[in-house]
Amino acid sequence: MEVLDYIYNRYSVRDFKSDAIPDDVLDTILEAGRLAPSGQNRQCWQFIVVTDKDIIKKIARHSFIGLINHFLSNAPVVIVACADPEKSLVLNDQPMYLVDLTLSFQQMIMAAWNYGIGSCWLGGFHEKSLKKVLNIPEQIRIVAMSPFGYPAEKKSFYSKVVSLVSSSKKRLAKEQIIHYNIWEDK
């Protein structure tokens, strides 16, 4: 597959087969994140690769309210993407750790897709309690996490509802988001 094919056909996967991800494939996915660009090459990121089923279940319990995001408990791997804000740049009053981390984690997500491995960026979780579960130091922020695994043959009712509620196939039209030369009111 070419890069553009990955971009066009990627979607968030919320239903997983129980099949493990081979170690060499997982290493390649992590390497794709390691090679990402970052402001002044500060690389303020840290990733926790969780394969222990009990810890994955605990993460699922702290992933938002009720059953939302509980689906991650079915994945063979969960990666928790952390950053140290003190190590990254602030530019124009904007903290760059969010940008750095996002570039790195998205590269992992796309590298995984190359192997037919699905994922789902998760921003809904209870950071404070999750930090306790994973023994994460005070100054470190959890920016995101994602389950990784081979997509199940069929989508569950839950994931169909989530896709529907977030209109996940829809994107704003080019005319609504692209400005040529100067800002135009739209």
The residues binding ligand FMN (CB under 6 A) are 11-12, 69, 120-124, 162, 166, 168
Identify which of residues 83 and 122 has a Cβ nearer to ligand FMN in the complex.
Answer: 122
Check if the beta carbon of residue 145 is closer than 8 Å to that of residue 80: yes
> Closest distance between ligand FMN and the C-beta of residue 23, in Å?
27
Integer CA distances (angstroms), 140 to 27, 34, 111, 127, in order: 23, 18, 25, 10
Cα distance between residue 20 and residue 164, in whole Å: 29
Beta bridge partners of 82: 46, 142
Identify which of residues 17 and 155 has a Cβ nearer to ligand FMN in the complex.
Answer: 155
Cα distance between residue 73 and residue 180, in whole Å: 45
Identify which of residues 24 and 168 has a Cβ nearer to ligand FMN in the complex.
Answer: 168
> Closest distance between ligand FMN and the C-beta of residue 12, in Å?
3
> Closest distance between ligand FMN and the C-beta of residue 47, in Å?
17
Identify which of residues 122 and 130 has a Cβ nearer to ligand FMN in the complex.
Answer: 122
> Closest distance between ligand FMN and the C-beta of residue 182, in Å?
28
Helix (H, G, I), strand (E, B) or coil at 32: helix
Cα distance between residue 117 and residue 16, in whole Å: 9
